[in-house]
Structure 1
Amino acid sequence: MSVGRSTGTAVTGSEDSRDARIHVDFVGGEEYAVRMRGHHVATDQPLDNGGVDRGPSPVELFVASMAACTAYYAGRYLDRHHVHREGLRVSADYRMAADRPARVERVRLDVRVPDGTPANLRQGLHAVVSHCTVHNTLRQRPEIHIDIS
């Protein structure tokens, strides 16, 4: 996976600090360069889907964003309860739908807490990670507008 940091400045869509912009540019074949806040990620398709596998697919990034958001929220929860994050891991399994439209049908996230995490924190941890920003966005669908220019 190609991930890096470029020297560009963040570009926002408006004066509202809640707005942000991500750019995706064609590289070649099925590869695209994704740029946001000075970071860049290469996306591609697997070999069996016409790509050369130079990076994760957009669907993998989508599922990864759910797992990473869950890990972030879990880590913050553990910090608030004075539990170290060493050993925290979130794994994601997903299944694509067999019918149309093409979409992710199911995602299962497994949050592995560090050794020594008190059992009485698990219920609260589950509640917190179930409401990370990515999960909330999926539950309360955003408005999506596509402009062709």
Structure 2
Amino acid sequence: MSQQELQVVVFTLFIEEDQIEFGVPIESVQEINRLLAITKIPEAPEFVEGIVNLRGNIIPIIDLKKRFFITESAQTEQSRIIVCDLEGTYIGIIVDAVSEVLKLPADSIENTNDVISSISSDYIAGISKIGDRLIVLLELENVFSKLEKSELIEVS
């Protein structure tokens, strides 16, 4: 893969009647699983669904839809947990569907300020236009505050 491409795992969140496609860099993705049995944690932040035991490792599970849109994910056959490395801590994010791995040309990626000024550019690295698709590229490190990251580390 050249320096002119970004390889991402593409997933979808269904918000009311809309489907929003997101991408995370493939190097931050450890694995993708079907939904597992999630153990609830008392007094966890609203978007933390709980924890799972993944081959002996305790992984906090985040409902990304709750984090971004204040709406709970409906768990379906297509729902997945994407296990990601967040600055040395593994977390699982619940998404409605995982579709593919894409190589995005650098020239397909636009700065969010150029596209939609109302979107928080803190956690969005850019937006990629591929044909008639728009893929929101997440900056996972910025999705959570320092306090939230420390809480996730304590849970794991």
Please report the TM-score for the alignment, with normalisation by the length of structure 1: 0.27
Q: Which structure carries more relative contact order (alpha carbon 8 Å, separation 6+)?
A: 2
Q: Which has the larger radius of gyration?
A: 1
Greater strand content: 2
Greater helix content: 1
